[in-house]
Amino acid sequence: MIFPLRTSRWTRFLTSTTGPFEAEVAGGIVGVRMGWVGHAEIPVERIARITSRRWPWWGGLGVRIAKGMVAFVPAPGDGVLLEFDDPVTVHAPMSWETDRVLVMVADPERFAAKVAAEREAALPPTP
């Protein structure tokens, strides 16, 4: 399932980059793409927690490296924070290891629910 990233009037400055601005949850992977600015391919079994996080306007736009996380931010507002059991490598635009990724999708509740469902399906059943 594809989720467009959040947009605002300022997003047009970022969209001059080529490629989609979207997150996709399918096949046990959460993929996030912001054109050439950055991307991530995160296996759902590596996700330990899914929470919400607000990104302020003064935090900047683009793929941001801040406070131990990488944020995919085409517009400020509410997003979904994915926390990992071990660091994953994302491209921001160079390779970067992180324990947390913030994804600013247009529909954070639906995205979080889909990631949680995909994660649940990927985990082995408990006895």
Residue 9 is predicted with a pLDDT of: 65
Any domain includes 38? yes
Tell me which DSSP letter residue 42 carries.
E
Any domain includes 95? yes
Separation CA 45–CA 123 (nearest Å): 6
Domain count, the chain: 1
- Give me the domain span that covers residue 29: 2-122
**Confidence label for 77 from pLDDT (cuts 50, 70 and 90):** very high
Residue 114 is predicted with a pLDDT of: 97
User: What would the pLDDT profile of 16-63 be if each residue is shown by its tens digit?
Assistant: 556 688 999 999 999 999 888 899 999 999 999 999 999 998 888 889
Separation CA 99–CA 97 (nearest Å): 7
Q: Is pLDDT at 119 greater than 80 in this prediction?
A: yes
Any domain includes 64? yes
Rg (CA), the chain: 14
Residue 62 is predicted with a pLDDT of: 84
